[in-house]
Amino acid sequence: MIEVKLHDVGEGMTEGEIANYLVQVGDRVTIDQPVVEVSTDKMVAELPAPVSGVVTDLLIPVGQTVGVGTVLLLIEATEAQPAVTVKRTVERSEQPQQQPTVTALLTERPKRVLATPYTRKIARDLGIDLELVPAVDPFGRVTEEDVRRFVESGTTPEPDQRPVAVETPSAPVDTIPFRGIRKQIAKKMTQSLFTIPHVTHFEEVDMTRLLALREELKAAGKPISVNAFFIKALIVALQDFPVFNAKLDEANEQILLERQYHIGVATETADGLIVPVVRDADQLTMQQLHQQVADLSTRAKTGDLRAADLKASTFTMSNVGPLGSTGATPIINYPETALIAFHKTKKRVCVDDQDQIVIRSMMNLSMSFDHRVADGATAVAFTNRFAGLIEHPTTLLMELI
């Protein structure tokens, strides 16, 4: 019997949620055929069958989160087992036992404490059993603050000291499943917001000249998206202010300044927000940036992104202007240092340097940054540098020569 286990599908993941089984018990599968979908904090990945054979059991129910190495399903091989598969050995004194079914697992498994992966990691690092930690939340969810409060108290609570979950009267309601990418987004955002002291800085940018240049390029048969211009201007600004292309290593008391520029582009999909990454963006031409952003956006919406498309971003941007947004306080894509969001561009009455009343195309931007790593003055200088390049695109082009 061959075990199909949850393995690391990208960037050191430790757990994943069973999003969907692509096979049923009794189905025949071929080697490398996708058999189960697993949702991580960045993507939904398909795990393939390691051998050809017949599915004999599905061990973990859909919607449950399990750790890397957990056996998800069993396949009875109908051909020689690959050498890479590790066979389990049974002591002579032991009798072979049948694998438990999903029903048996649900009845035998101890009650799972409600907590985010980040809270669980803190508890593991501190050697704390989450079942002993009292939760302030009325529904029993254990938070990072509960764990730290428990450590500071130095006492183990008696069972009757635990808060009891409040039961609410049942009533007819419509429900939406809270799992898959949506659940992973929630975990990631909670980790970021409760780890990083966020500060958001706002600025406005005159887009008039850039939009005119874009129209000229389009008329000449060289269309370039606004996002491509944004990425190029961001790279120049990040090179001048490398503290925003960085990660904080608290354990070693270091700020790690990244030498590569992998720009994450927040993309809205039917399943939620994901962040495909334009890798080595500083080495790409404007036309290549335009094509890559378009390609990543299309594949994000059709669910065709690969694990490599979602890895190792160093800075993230979000262009929500086309949706009509005028402002926001974005949450940083942990463990990055900052995230910049671009909002709606609209024509406004302005006063120019000669005190003349003019009509300009103005865009708001908001930038959230990690206040442990950078200060407000640095953030203002960074956005001023970015705004100057966008407002005078010929200056931006000179930076690329």
| CATH code of the domain in which 191 resides | 4.10.320.10
Domain assignment present for residue 173? The answer is: no
pLDDT of residue 80: 55
pLDDT of residue 186: 84
Q: Are strands 198-206 and 263-265 parallel, antiparallel or unpaired?
A: unpaired
Domain assignment present for residue 85? The answer is: no
Side chain identity at residue 282, one-letter code:
D
Catalytic annotation, residues:
371
Residues 51 and 21 reside in one and the same domain: yes
pLDDT of residue 161: 47
CB-neighbour burial class of residue 213 (10 A; exposed 0-12, middle 13-18, buried 19+): middle
pLDDT of residue 79: 62
pLDDT of residue 109: 40
Segments forming the whole domain that contains residue 135: 111-159+178-195
**Under-70 pLDDT residues of the chain:** 9-13, 41-43, 79-113, 115-118, 138-139, 155-171, 401
pLDDT of residue 103: 44
Round to whole Å and give the CA distance between 345 and 359: 13
Residues 188 and 201 reside in one and the same domain: no
Residues 257 and 139 reside in one and the same domain: no
Domain assignment present for residue 298? The answer is: yes
Residues 262 and 120 reside in one and the same domain: no
pLDDT of residue 58: 93
Domains identified in the chain, total number: 3
